[in-house]
Amino acid sequence: MWFSAEELGLLGSTAYVAGLPQSERDKIEAMLNFDMIGSPNYLRFVDDGGNSAFPSGPGAATGPAGSGELERIFHDYFRPGR
Protein backbone atom coordinates (compact mmCIF):
# COMPACT_ATOMS: atom_id res chain seq x y z
CA MET A 1 0.00 0.00 0.00
CA TRP A 2 1.08 3.57 -0.48
CA PHE A 3 1.04 6.33 2.12
CA SER A 4 1.60 10.05 1.78
CA ALA A 5 3.53 12.41 4.03
CA GLU A 6 5.90 9.69 5.27
CA GLU A 7 8.94 11.95 5.19
CA LEU A 8 7.10 14.45 7.37
CA GLY A 9 6.74 12.02 10.27
CA LEU A 10 4.91 8.89 9.05
CA LEU A 11 1.67 10.87 8.84
CA GLY A 12 -0.05 8.70 6.23
CA SER A 13 0.63 5.32 7.85
CA THR A 14 -0.13 6.69 11.32
CA ALA A 15 -3.51 8.01 10.12
CA TYR A 16 -4.26 4.69 8.43
CA VAL A 17 -3.54 2.64 11.54
CA ALA A 18 -5.38 5.09 13.81
CA GLY A 19 -8.48 4.63 11.66
CA LEU A 20 -8.49 0.83 11.95
CA PRO A 21 -10.66 -0.98 14.45
CA GLN A 22 -8.67 -2.78 17.16
CA SER A 23 -9.54 -6.17 15.63
CA GLU A 24 -7.70 -5.15 12.44
CA ARG A 25 -4.77 -3.59 14.33
CA ASP A 26 -4.30 -6.88 16.16
CA LYS A 27 -3.68 -8.60 12.79
CA ILE A 28 -0.71 -6.35 11.92
CA GLU A 29 2.58 -7.98 12.77
CA ALA A 30 4.95 -5.49 11.15
CA MET A 31 5.17 -2.65 8.66
CA LEU A 32 8.16 -2.63 6.35
CA ASN A 33 9.08 0.64 4.66
CA PHE A 34 10.82 0.06 1.32
CA ASP A 35 10.78 3.63 0.07
CA MET A 36 14.56 3.66 -0.44
CA ILE A 37 14.79 0.37 -2.31
CA GLY A 38 14.90 1.89 -5.80
CA SER A 39 18.02 4.01 -5.31
CA PRO A 40 20.75 3.85 -7.98
CA ASN A 41 23.19 4.19 -5.05
CA TYR A 42 22.22 0.86 -3.55
CA LEU A 43 24.00 -1.30 -1.02
CA ARG A 44 23.25 -4.95 -0.32
CA PHE A 45 22.83 -5.26 3.43
CA VAL A 46 20.31 -6.01 6.13
CA ASP A 47 19.65 -3.10 8.46
CA ASP A 48 20.53 -3.69 12.10
CA GLY A 49 16.98 -3.00 13.23
CA GLY A 50 17.38 -4.97 16.46
CA ASN A 51 20.60 -3.19 17.47
CA SER A 52 22.45 -6.52 17.66
CA ALA A 53 25.67 -5.29 16.03
CA PHE A 54 25.54 -1.66 17.14
CA PRO A 55 23.85 -1.25 20.53
CA SER A 56 21.78 1.89 20.91
CA GLY A 57 23.37 4.80 22.62
CA PRO A 58 24.37 8.38 21.77
CA GLY A 59 23.59 8.90 18.09
CA ALA A 60 22.11 5.39 17.57
CA ALA A 61 18.36 4.92 17.52
CA THR A 62 16.70 1.84 18.99
CA GLY A 63 14.54 -0.08 16.53
CA PRO A 64 10.86 -0.56 17.36
CA ALA A 65 9.55 -3.79 18.87
CA GLY A 66 9.86 -6.68 16.41
CA SER A 67 12.83 -5.21 14.55
CA GLY A 68 15.19 -7.92 15.75
CA GLU A 69 12.84 -10.66 14.50
CA LEU A 70 12.51 -8.99 11.08
CA GLU A 71 16.30 -8.66 10.92
CA ARG A 72 16.63 -12.40 11.62
CA ILE A 73 14.09 -13.27 8.91
CA PHE A 74 15.98 -11.22 6.31
CA HIS A 75 19.34 -12.69 7.36
CA ASP A 76 17.91 -16.20 7.01
CA TYR A 77 16.43 -15.40 3.59
CA PHE A 78 19.63 -13.86 2.18
CA ARG A 79 21.97 -16.42 3.79
CA PRO A 80 24.47 -17.68 1.16
CA GLY A 81 23.70 -21.18 -0.03
CA ARG A 82 20.08 -20.95 1.03
**pLDDT number for residue 36:** 65
Active site residue 24: no
pTM of the model: 0.62
pLDDT tens string 7-52: 777 788 889 999 999 999 999 888 887 766 777 887 778 888 778 8
- Tell me the C-alpha distance between 51 and 31, whole Å: 18
- Sign of CA pseudo-dihedral 22, 73, 71, 2: negative
Query: Average pLDDT for residues 61-73, to the nearest whole number?
Result: 85
Query: Which listed residue (6, 7, 24, 71) is catalytic?
Result: 6
